[in-house]
Amino acid sequence: MPTSAVRRAVRARSPVVLGGLAGLLVAAAAGGCLTLAAAAGIPAVHATLIVWMAVSYSAAGLIAWRRRPANRFGPLMLLTGVATFATALWWADIVALRTVGQLCDLLPTVLILHLFLAFPTGRLTSRPARLLVGLGYVAAVGVQPVAIMLGSLGPDHPLLLVDAPEVGSALFDGELIVISVVSLAGVAQLVARRRAAGRPLRRSLGLLIDSFGLGLAMIAVMLMVGVFGGPSFPVVQRVSIAVIGFAPVAFLAGLLGARLARTAVGDLVVELRAEPDDLRAPLARALGDPSLAVLYWLPQFASWTDQHGKPLELPADQARATTLIERDGAPVAALIHDVALNDERELLDAVSAAAAIALETGRLQAELRAHVDELRGSRARVIEAGQQERQRLERNLHDGAQQRLIALSLDLAMLESSLDGDPAARTRLSQARGEIATSLAELRDVARGLHPAVLSAHGLAVALESLTARAPLPVRLTVRLDGRLAEAVEVAAYYVVCESLANIGKHARATAATVSVAQADGRLVVEVLDDGRGGADTEGGSGLRGLADRVEALDGRLRVWTSSGNGTRVQAELPCG
| Residue ranges matching CATH 3.30.565.10 in the chain | 457-575
**The domain defined by 3-258 carries CATH number 2.40.50:** no
Residue 415's pLDDT is what? Answer: 65
Q: Which residues make Cβ contacts (< 8 Å) with residue 205, sequence separation at least 6? A: 254, 338, 340
From the number of C-beta atoms within 10 Å of its C-beta (0-12, 13-18, 19+), residue 401 rates as middle
**Measured distance CA(491)–CA(507) in Å, rounded:** 24
Whether cis (ω within 30° of 0) applies to the bond prior to 120 is yes
Phi, psi dihedral angles at 153 (to 5 degrees): -105, 15
* pLDDT tens per residue across span 187-217: 998 888 777 655 555 555 666 777 888 888 8
| Residue ranges matching CATH 1.20.1070 in the chain | 3-258
Could you tell me the mean pLDDT of each successive run of 10 residues in the chain, 577 residues long? 46 54 80 85 88 90 82 88 91 89 92 88 88 93 90 85 89 91 90 66 64 84 81 82 84 64 54 62 77 79 75 76 78 79 72 67 59 60 57 58 66 66 68 67 56 74 87 90 85 86 86 91 91 73 71 84 84 86
* Nearest residue to 286 (alpha-carbon basis) of 201, 348, 208, 329: 348
Strands (E), 51-135: none
Phi, psi dihedral angles at 325 (to 5 degrees): -115, 120
| Contact present, 479 and 460 (Cβ < 8 Å) | yes
The pTM score is 0.54
Residue 13's pLDDT is what? Answer: 46
Residue 369's pLDDT is what? Answer: 62
| Contact present, 571 and 493 (Cβ < 8 Å) | no
**Measured distance CA(344)–CA(203) in Å, rounded:** 15
Category of 363 on φ-ψ map: left (φ > 0), alpha (ψ -120 to 50) or beta: alpha
Residue 12's pLDDT is what? Answer: 43
CA 152 to chain centre: 55
**Measured distance CA(305)–CA(368) in Å, rounded:** 11
* pLDDT tens per residue across span 468-490: 888 889 999 999 988 888 888 88
**The domain defined by 457-575 carries CATH number 3.20.20.80:** no
Amino acid making up residue 6: V
C-alpha distances out from residue 377 to 50, 313, 382, 462, Å: 68, 21, 9, 30
Q: Which residues make Cβ contacts (< 8 Å) with residue 70, sequence separation at least 6? A: none
